[in-house]
Amino acid sequence: MTESVYKIIELVGSSEKSWEDAMKNLIDEASKTLRDLRIAEVVEMDVKIDKNKIVLYRVRARLSFKYEGK
């Protein structure tokens, strides 16, 4: 087994449609620079409200990826 070191970061994704879609947007953005993502754990969920309507579903998630210096 490899003995690599991983780094944990937390990102917040959002979507007008659903928490699933907010997570998808988060992964899409993270994938641009982080390689080999395998699991994203939900840490917090909320919604933004404007004029009595939900305008954004937001999800805060924890991701791990191979660490290659700061």
- Secondary structure (3-state) at 28: helix
Burial classification of residue 55, based on how many CB atoms lie within 10 Å of its CB (0-12 exposed, 13-18 middle, 19 or more buried): exposed
Contact (Cβ atoms closer than 8 angstroms) between residue 59 and residue 10: no
Q: Name the site residues for a second copy (rule: CB under 8 A).
A: 1-16, 18-20, 22-34, 37-42, 44-50, 52-57, 60-61, 64, 67, 69-70
- Which residues are paired to 65 by β-bridges? 7
